[in-house]
A = this chain, B = another copy of it.
Amino acid sequence: MVKDCSTDTVAQAVREYEGVTRKRVIGDMVRLLRMESPDVVASFGEDAAVIRHNAEDALLLAADGIWSRLMEADPFWAGYCAVLVNVHDIAAMGGRPIAMVDILSVTNDLIRDEVTRGMVAASRQFGVPIVGGHLHPETPYSVVDVAILGTARMDQLIFSDTAEEGDVVVAAIDLAGRVHPSCSFNWDSVTMKSAEVVRAQIRVMEDLGKEHLVTAGKDISNPGVIGTLGMLLEVSEKGAVIDLEAIPRPDLSAIGLPFEHWVRMYPGMGFILTAKEENVKEVCRRFSDTGIAAAPIGTVDGSRILTVRYLGRETQVFDLDHNGIMRIFTEGGICR
C-alpha cells in the first residue's frame, strides 16, 4: 500500500511540478525551428533526433543541459548529470551512444574543474568519450550543456510517438539508490554502481529495440515517471489509465519520502515504455536481470487523457487533447 496517497494529491503534484510546466515552452520553439529535410526521420518530441545515414543505418543526435540551480548547488553532480541525461537520450531511442561534446560557461576555475570532474566520471563509467567542445571562461554564470552522437540500425529504433491502444505501460526504475544529497528531486542510482552494471542497464534498451519487444519508450527525465508518460502519450496522441500502486518504488516510509515526491523524481536509470501484452513479462525480465525494477502499471487507450487510479478512485492528470505538456503539435503536423 502507498502510504498517505490520494489520486488527487498525486495528480496535482505532478501537474504543477516545475519539471512538467517548464516543458510548455517547447511547442513555440519547435514551430519556429522546424524545417523540412528528407533524411530527418524524427526530430522534436523524441529523446534524440534520427537522421537516415543510408538504407540501414541511422545517426542519432541529442542535446541536453542542466538546470542552473543544480550547477550552483553541486557542479560535480551537474557535470555527471549532463553526461547521464545525454546517454539516456540515446538509450531511450534503442541506440548506442558513441561520443559527446560539451559547452561550458563558468564563473571560475573551481566550478570548471568540478563540472569537468563530474563529466569525466560519468564519461568513463558509461564508456562514452567526450571528444570536443567549447569553453567560455569567466562568464557571469555557470552552464553545462552536452550534445551526444549515437548510432542505430533503422529497424531497431524506439520512438515516443508509436504507442498504440491496448498496449501495456511498463515503468522501469533502478530502486537501489539514494536521494541525491544536493538535489531532493534526483534519485541517484548510478554513482555507486560499477561501469559494468550501468553499461548493462543502458544496453537493455538497445536489445529491446533490436528484438522489437516494445512499441514506444522514453527515458524518465525531469517531469518524473507520470510526467514523462504524459509526454509519450501526447506525441502518440493516446491516453492511459495507470495504477499508482504498481509504480516501482523503494521503501518510501523508511527514507521518509512522500509518494507524490517519488513520482516527480528524476531517476538515475529509468524508462517508461509501452509493449504488447505478450512481451511484458520478457521486457520486465530484461530489466530485472540488470537490477532495474520493472512492472506493468497500466494500459494505453484512445482517450488522450492520462488518469491515475488508487484504491478504486481515479483522477485525471493531463487532458492532452486540450492542454498538452510540450504542446508541439497544436499548430503543426506530427514531427515525423
Residues on A close to B: CB < 8 A? Answer: 22, 25-26, 29, 32-33, 35, 37, 39-40, 43-44, 46, 48-49, 51, 53, 59, 61-65, 67-68, 98-105, 112-113, 116-117, 119-120, 123-124, 129-137, 139-141, 143, 145, 147, 149, 151
Question: What copy number does this chain have within its complex?
Answer: 2
CB distance from A60 to the nearest CB of B (A): 9
Question: What B residues does A62 contact at CB under 8 A?
Answer: 101, 132
**Which of these, B40, B65, B105, B116, contacts A136 with CB under 8 Å?**
B65
Question: What B residues does A43 contact at CB under 8 A?
Answer: 129, 131-132
- Is the Cβ of A40 less than 8 Å from the Cβ of B131? yes
Question: What B residues does A29 contact at CB under 8 A?
Answer: 104, 112, 116, 133, 135
Residue among A37, A64, A102, A133 with max Cβ neighbours from chain B (10 Å)? A133
Residue of B nearest to A25 (CB): B137
- Is the Cβ of A149 less than 8 Å from the Cβ of B63? no
Going nearest first, the 8 A-B pairs with the smallest beta carbon separation are A147-B147, A49-B131, A63-B101, A141-B141, A103-B145, A43-B131, A49-B132, A37-B129
CB distance from A42 to the nearest CB of B (A): 8
- Is the Cβ of B143 less than 8 Å from the Cβ of A61? no
Residue among A37, A100, A102 with max Cβ neighbours from chain B (10 Å)? A37
Question: What B residues does A37 contact at CB under 8 A?
Answer: 99, 129, 131
- Is the Cβ of A102 less than 8 Å from the Cβ of B63? yes
Supposing A49-B99, A143-B141 touch, asked if A32 and B120 sit within 8 A by C-beta, the answer is yes
Residue of B nearest to A136 (CB): B65
- Is the Cβ of B68 less than 8 Å from the Cβ of A35? no
- Is the Cβ of A35 less than 8 Å from the Cβ of B124? yes
Question: What B residues does A98 contact at CB under 8 A?
Answer: 39, 51, 59
A39 to B99, CA, bound (A): 10
Residue of B nearest to A147 (CB): B147
A178 to B100, CA, bound (A): 36
Residue among A51, A105, A129, A134 with max Cβ neighbours from chain B (10 Å)? A134
29 contacts between A and B (CB under 8 A): A22-B137, A29-B116, A32-B116, A32-B120, A33-B116, A33-B119, A33-B123, A35-B123, A35-B124, A37-B99, A40-B131, A43-B132, A48-B132, A49-B99, A49-B132, A51-B99, A51-B131, A59-B98, A61-B99, A61-B149, A63-B102, A63-B133, A68-B136, A68-B139, A68-B140, A103-B145, A140-B141, A141-B143, A143-B143
- Is the Cβ of A130 less than 8 Å from the Cβ of B63? no
Residue of B nearest to A124 (CB): B35
Residue of B nearest to A139 (CB): B68
- Is the Cβ of B132 less than 8 Å from the Cβ of A44? yes
Residue of B nearest to A33 (CB): B130
Residue among A65, A129, A139, A145 with max Cβ neighbours from chain B (10 Å)? A145
A149 to B37, CA, bound (A): 15
Q: A26-B135, A63-B102, A145-B145 are in contact. List 9 more A-B contacts (CB 8 A).
A: A25-B112, A29-B133, A35-B120, A35-B123, A35-B124, A37-B131, A39-B98, A141-B141, A143-B143
